[in-house]
Each structure stands twice: as C-alpha cells, then as structure tokens.
Amino acid sequence: MSAPKKSRMEHSPEVQKFVEFLKIRTVHPDPAYKESRLWLLDYVADIGLEVVVDKEYHPGKPVIVVKLPGTNPELPSVLLNSHVDVVPVEQDKWIVDAFSGHITDDGKIYGRGTQDMKCVCIQHLEAVRRIKDSGTKLRRNLYLSFVPDEETYTGHGMGLLCQSEEFKSWNVGMAVDEGLARENSDMVVFYAERHCYWTDVTFSGNPGHGSRFIENTAVEKMRKLVNKALDYRENQRKRLLADACMTLGEVTTVNVTMIHGGTTPNVVPSEFTVTLDCRVSHEYAFEEFKNLLKSWIDEAGGGEMSFIASSNNDALSSIDPKDKWWNAITGACKKHSVKLVPEIFPAGTDSRYLRAQGIPAYGFSPINNTPILLHDHNEWLGVDTFMRGIDILGTVIRDLANVSG
C-alpha cells in the first residue's frame, strides 16, 4: 500500500508553528500563559531575535517583547503587537476539538484563535524570520510584543506595557495590531475604534409576595431602561441598514448582556441588575453618551450605575494619503494587488492604549474571502490565506520599517 499523500500543512513549517500555537490553551478564565511564554521564547530564539522584555507587569500575566535592530536606531521604531489569549468555547457546538488545530482536506485550519489573533502573531514572526534570513536591513528598530489579557479588557497586558520605562525607551513611532477578516476580496484596516461602556445598572423597588400586584418594583424600572436601550438599538440598526456606505464602527450598539436578581420563585425581589454592553460611535463625545445613558436611567425611576469597563477612544490614526505610515501600508498592499478599506473598529483592541499616547496604530489582519468568525463557533482560517498573509505582512513590515523621515 502506498503512503498517503502529504498535505501542504505537513510540508509547511509556518503552518506547523501555527497549529502548535493553537494547541496551547491560552483560553480564559485560566489561560496557559506559562506554557505560551516558554513556547514563544523558544520560537523567537530559533528566529534569532533579541528578547528585550520577559516579565510580568501584573502577577501571572507575562509580557514578551523582542527586537530586530535597524540601521538607524535614532529613528522612531515600529511595533507589531499580538495578544496571546483567546475567548472561551462551547465545545459541544464545534465540529472538531477547538484546540486541536485540525486541518480539513479542503485546507481549513480549525481552532480558537485562528482569526483572533494567533494567526497574526505567527504571521508577524514568520514575516520577520524571512526578512532576517534574507539579509535585508531595516532602517528602523522593529519590536514585536506578545501580551496577555486583551480579551478581558483589563489592561494587564498592553495597558501596563505602554506605561513602562522599557516602552518609553523604544521611541515607538507607529504600531500594527489586529484587524478583522473580510468576506470579499478587499482587506480592511482599522484606524480607530468605538468608545466602550460596559456598565451594571441596579434598580431598587418594593419587594413582596409573588402573588400580588406590587407597585414600583425593581423589575418594572429595569424594564423601562431595557425598552429604552432596545429601542435605541433598533434605530441604530435601521441607520446602518439604510446606508450601504455606513459600517458597524460608525453607529452605536447597545446590547443587554446579563440580568441578575431574585432569590426564590415566589418573592418579588427588591433589586434587579441589568448589564449593558455599549459600543459608542465617534459622533458622540465620551461624556455625551454617558449623560444620555443616565437620562434613560432617571426616566426609568432611578438606579445605580457602575462601570465594569470604559474607554474613551477619541484618537484617530491618519488615513491621509500624504501620511508616511498610511502611505507605506497602502503602498505595500498594492504590491500584492490588495485593496485596503479603512474603517473604525466596531469593538476594542489593544490599539486604544497606543493611540491614547499619540502613537498611530493600525489594525490589520490580512484575511479576505473569509467569513468573520472571531469569538464564533468553529472558527477557522484557510491555509492559503494564512500563507499569503505572511507574504503581505512581510512587505508591509519592510516598507514601514524603511519609511524615511
């Protein structure tokens, strides 16, 4: 009997590394950060990159940063950022083990993190390996960061790294972070992101027996707020659908994500708490939407609002054709016949910490002709798309690190 035909995956060391990384369960609520750290340190040592940070700015949350020196280190540097953590899975909803890195006969790599964002982590490293092995010299210092806890919005990774003395010493001029897949032949690059408000609103009211018509209950107040929020959500949805040129990042979403309250079926509780996930477009100032939300709560009868997480993402990175960074990114993609579409990111990424410091940051995952599956069941990425992404990012990285001025 003849041996089975080897797949492209079996012949590609880049895909092999990707699969290895997917198998490391850096999944919340207990990410395997120690295993990930050791694996990454071996990986960058094999490439021959200098480790400039290997530490925990927050206990149990390791950060790794490596460097490829440039010929003109006095120039502002380029940073390539990746987060290593991934969101939980509902394994019974997957067709394969979510941490197996399974590759199908038609070339789909399945696994949590294939799109968000272990693909880009490996693509950055393999693109830099090719640059280094080719003997190509870059003008600017190039840094690659691998951070924890992006998915939890805590700031324990990039948020703390940005505040460190090490980071300040690198004179970062611009950064590249994660983006999203695109379902058509274009690729999308993100130059900003919406404000984020995650908030609990707790309402108090009269308690009593579940058989009675009790007035002024907590749940009645909560219902009024929920109705306001969902009515607003529907109006924003209609705005989005009515304008083919409008993107999700240009409207505001308000979603009810959790409701808590009650102790037993036959007692009307004295408190109910509703959690809202609000992603606010740049048409609102930070405080403006906060005041709108407060007005809804007041109209509902009054409640206590406590923020779980919030961010004021007012900064916009330039997409002016004359901007040197934007021109380098778009020019590099043109060399691969890739049309870039600039958008505002609809959710949150680590780029917000960089933009807050005045550093231009662009979210770019070189994935097209692929459904958007981040945080979804059966997340996958095509082998060919993954490999082409290394080629594209190699050109982007080289051109950015060689920008003059």
Which residue out of 14, 85, 177, 399 is catalytically annotated? 85
Give the pLDDT confidence score for residue 204 in this predicted structure. 98
**Using CA atoms, how far apart are residues 401 and 405, in angstroms rounded to an integer?**
11
Give the pLDDT confidence score for residue 3 in this predicted structure. 41
What are the distances in angstroms from CA 4 to CA 13, 96, 101, 109, 305?
Answer: 19, 22, 20, 19, 62
pLDDT at 211 over 60: yes
Query: pLDDT tens digits, residue range 257-303?
Result: 999 999 999 999 999 999 999 999 998 887 899 999 999 999 999 99
Asked, for residue 168, whether it belongs to a domain, the answer is: yes
Asked, for residue 2, whether it belongs to a domain, the answer is: no
Query: pLDDT tens digits, residue range 96-155?
Result: 999 999 999 999 999 999 999 999 999 999 999 999 999 999 999 999 999 999 999 889
Same domain, 35 and 180: yes
| Residues found in the chain | 405
Same domain, 39 and 165: yes
Q: Where in the sequence is the domain holding 114, given as residue range(s)?
A: 8-193+314-401
Same domain, 224 and 307: yes
What percent of the chain stands above pLDDT 90? 92
Same domain, 170 and 251: no
Same domain, 206 and 111: no
Same domain, 142 and 209: no
pLDDT at 398 over 50: yes
Q: Compute the radius of gyration of the chain from its Cα atoms.
A: 23
Query: pLDDT tens digits, residue range 292-343?
Result: 999 999 999 999 999 898 888 789 999 999 999 999 999 999 999 999 999 9
Q: Which residues of 371-385 are buried (b: 16+ CB within 10 A; e: fewer)?
A: eebbeeebbbbbbeb
Same domain, 99 and 156: yes
Single out the residue in 269, 284, 311 at which a domain terminates: 311
Asked, for residue 40, whether it belongs to a domain, the answer is: yes
Which residue out of 116, 126, 149, 150 is catalytically annotated? 150
Active site (annotated) includes residue 10: no
86-95 average pLDDT score? 98
Looking at residue 24, which CATH number applies to its domain? 3.40.630.10
Q: What is the mean pLDDT of the chain?
A: 95
Looking at residue 278, which CATH number applies to its domain? 3.30.70.360
Asked, for residue 1, whether it belongs to a domain, the answer is: no
Task: Specify which residues 253 forms β-bridges with.
Answer: 279
Asked, for residue 202, whether it belongs to a domain, the answer is: yes
pLDDT at 4 over 70: no
Same domain, 96 and 184: yes
User: How wide is the angle at C-alpha 107 spanned by C-alphas 145 and 377, nearest 5°?
Assistant: 65
- pTM for the whole thing? 0.92
Six-digit token pair at 221?
């107040």
Six-digit token pair at 352?
């917000």
Same domain, 55 and 177: yes
pLDDT band at 9 (very low <50, low <70, confident <90, very high): very low
Active site (annotated) includes residue 220: no
Name the residue with tokens 């207990």: 30
Single out the residue in 293, 311, 329 at which a domain terminates: 311
Single out the residue in 262, 292, 311 at which a domain terminates: 311
Q: How many domains is the chain built from? A: 2
